[in-house]
Amino acid sequence: MKPQDYLINIILSAILIVGAYQFYFFTQRHPIKKARFFDSPIDEKLPFWPIWAWVYSFLYYPAILYLNWIATDARHFTLMAFSFILLLFMQMAFFYIYPVQTPEHWRAINTGRSAAEKFLLFVQKFDAPSNCFPSMHVSVATLTALHAQAALGPWVFAFPLLIAISCIFTKQHYLIDLPFGALLGAAGYEIYKALL
């Protein structure tokens, strides 16, 4: 592809990311049933390490945008983008049919003292404690890693692993949200492969 094609794809990707989050926020603002909580003693014992907030947000988006550099042509880019849109709608189905949220006291842990805590509080102004099952962060990271695996090799799976760890130590997710998020991301990739 030509350099201008990569630039156009990056712009389109940024618009898709911003647009996709509108659907995510819509499910938070318009629930069709009351969200449930998972009573998990293991999750309660896991510590709050706000430093992971930087991984939770700042590693996430550049890694997704990296896929623009490995797109071989317009069809490849379109099918990758479509796999993320399909994943979004699979996530939304879960958020509507089986809504789950984290306990309120998890967010009360954050006192806003450090820069990481302040940043996490900023993120949480937009991101309610609902829509946590399955983890959208982990599902998107898994789909991203699967797309990038051919170009970067197996170490690319460190990305979803780091994102999963950040989900736990920022108290944004339950442990059970993570493997189900990974499975959903893998399902999105299987659909992409079938279309390809």
- Please write the tens of the pLDDT for every residue from 113-148: 999 999 999 999 988 898 999 999 999 999 999 999
Query: In the predicted model, is pLDDT for residue 1 greater than 80?
Result: no
Domain assignments of the chain as residue spans, ordered by start: 3-195
How much is the pLDDT for 126? 87
How much is the pLDDT for 30? 87
- Residue 9 main-chain phi, psi, to 5 deg: -65, -40
How much is the pLDDT for 191? 93
What contacts 82, CB < 8 A, 6 or more positions away? 192, 195
Question: Which pLDDT tens digit goes with each residue over 7-23?
Answer: 888 888 888 888 888 88
Is the separation of the CB atoms in 174 and 102 below 8 Å? yes
Beta bridge partners of 36: 100
How much is the pLDDT for 17? 85
Residues above pLDDT 70, as percent of the chain: 100
- Torsion, CA 120, CA 126, CA 130, CA 131, rounded to 10: -100
